[in-house]
Amino acid sequence: MFSGIIKNKGIVSKIFKKNKNCILEVSTNMNFTKNDIGSSISCSGACLTLEKFKGKVCKFFVSNETLNRTIFKNIKKGSIINLEKSLKYGSRNSGHFVQGHVDTTSKASSIIKIGKSWLINFSLKNKFKEFIVEKGSISINGVSLTISNINRGGFSIVIVPHTLKLTNLIILKKNDLVNIEFDVLGKYIKNFLKWKK
């Protein structure tokens, strides 16, 4: 479980693909200890297991299922990803509960700069519209954000300067894909109502 409050980034330095699976090698200033090996790390919103680290380089295994559901399917060397360690009990959560279970990807259909903030519109397939609520939470590339508006083609969010500075959303361009995870509470409620009928 994560909070979606991103304070660290990493650069994909190597990609090893084999038998539909993948190993990512990431360079980062995030500090790891031996106790972190085997733990879950949010990598641009996808929960990946830390397999190894040496100095500032760490390795993550990416399964075929994760490749199919996330932006990692088309990841390239030099790509910047958001990184977050899992929450500790008793820690402050300034975001929302993010599982690292990416539901789908979405395209940035437009980016409008309003002062130092960005208004970004994202496209979304109709079948996912039932999971979004105006002023509700959503995870975009692992970042906890608030849905500011729902429109015909998708939804929009506003990103403040501080969040832009700390995350890879600052390099987002029109038509770029991002990882999307809908609020877990909404997903459970939707599933409960479906089976109650």
Q: Where are the domains of the chain?
A: 8-85, 104-196
Looking at 2.60.120.10, 3.90.1150.10, 2.40.30.20, 3.30.200.20, the CATH number of the domain 104-196 comes to 2.40.30.20
Helices and strands counted in the chain (H then E): 3, 12
**Beta strand residue intervals within 29-103, DSSP E:** 40-43, 46-54, 57-62, 80-85
What's the CATH code, domain 8-85? Answer: 2.40.30.20
- pLDDT tens sequence for the chain (197 residues): 899 999 999 999 999 988 888 999 999 999 999 999 999 999 999 999 999 999 999 999 999 999 999 999 999 999 999 999 998 776 767 778 899 999 999 999 999 999 999 999 999 999 999 999 999 999 999 999 999 999 989 999 999 999 999 999 999 999 999 999 999 887 878 777 777 66
pLDDT number for residue 87? 83
Q: Given this chain, do its domains 8-85 and 104-196 carry the same CATH topology?
A: yes
52-102 per-position pLDDT tens digit: 999 999 999 999 999 999 999 999 999 999 999 998 776 767 778 899 999
Phi, psi of 147 (to 5 degrees): -75, 120
Q: What are phi and psi of 129, to 5 degrees?
A: -60, -30
- Closest by CA to 12, choosing from 74, 90, 96, is 74
Asked if residues 24 and 45 have their Cβ atoms less than 8 Å apart, the reply is no
